[in-house]
Amino acid sequence: MNPIRMNRLALAALLALAPFAPEAIARSVVCESQNGQTQHCYADTRNGVTLAVQYSHSSCRQGQTWGTDNRGIWVSNGCRAQFDVGEYRSDRGSNNDSKAAAALAIGLIGAAAIASHHDRDRDRGRDDDRYDDRHNYQPYNDYNRYGPTQTITCESRDGRHNYCRNNLRGARVDMDRQLSRSPCRYGNDWGWDGGGIWVENGCRAVFSVR
């Protein structure tokens, strides 16, 4: 059978399977700590919570600057982020119909994969040549982009402004661990620029640099 026709049949089978697939409902909640204060955001956390997107310069670390309780999600120390809250699933349609549709889809997808195997083999040689020319190719990850994580301790003595010089151009800075009893609120008690980290108002902390 023509591979293009088989691919179309596989797609049709997947569309037929869709009404029988479990319906998933995921919700997102944005929770923000303003001025370093603890903020509670109502959410149903019984099915778990995960951090999806961090918006703040301050670190969002589970158990330290964010977490959950019986009221919902809490954030502190300037953490601002979007959280994915649980997932609810409900089955529609009978088990027999679902199994039959799944078997049809799997069979047609497998046939389409076999039909296109020759095309993949033909293209593989071209892809190998492309990667052979890139001798320094490495998978992209945070290590390649920022380099290894380093730590800098910066302390405000007697509430005075202190500037800890370091070359931070192109880096990213987060507060790793607060050492002082005085609050360390990003933008109020600490901050950073390309030349270093500044602290004041008695803030003493260890900062991570990547």
Structure token digits, residue 87: 């997932």
50 DSSP β-pair partners: 84
pLDDT higher than threshold 50 for residue 27: yes
From 67, 90, 113, the end of a domain falls on 90
| Confidence check: pLDDT of 38 > 50 | yes
pLDDT category, 129, cuts 50, 70, 90? very low
104: helix, strand or coil: helix
Residue 2 domain-assigned?
no
Percentage of residues of the chain with pLDDT beyond 90: 46
Rounded to 5 degrees, φ, ψ at 49 are -135, 135
Lowest mean pLDDT among 24-28, 80-84, 149-153, 175-179: 24-28
Q: Which residue has the higher pLDDT, 198 or 126?
A: 198
pLDDT, tens digit (0-9, with 9 covering 90-100), for 102-120: 666 666 666 666 656 555 6
Quick one: which of 158, 162, 155 has its CA closest to 205? Answer: 155
pLDDT at 80 over 80: yes
Residue 184 lies in a domain: yes
Domains identified in the chain, total number: 2
Is residue 34 assigned to a domain?
Answer: yes
With 60 as the cut, is the pLDDT of residue 155 above it? yes
In a domain, 124, yes or no: no
Query: Is residue 175 pLDDT above 60, yes or no?
Result: yes
Q: What is the pLDDT, as a whole number, of residue 25? A: 57
| Position with higher pLDDT, 34 vs 99 | 34
Tokens linked to 34: 């303003």
Residue 77 lies in a domain: yes
CB atoms within 10 A of CB 5: 11
pTM of the full predicted structure? 0.35
Distance CA 74, CA 66 (A): 5
Please name the residue that has the structure tokens 């607060």.
Answer: 178
Residue 43 belongs to a domain: yes
Residue 72, domain extent:
23-90
Whether 14 is in a domain gets the answer: no
Is 159 a domain residue? Answer: yes
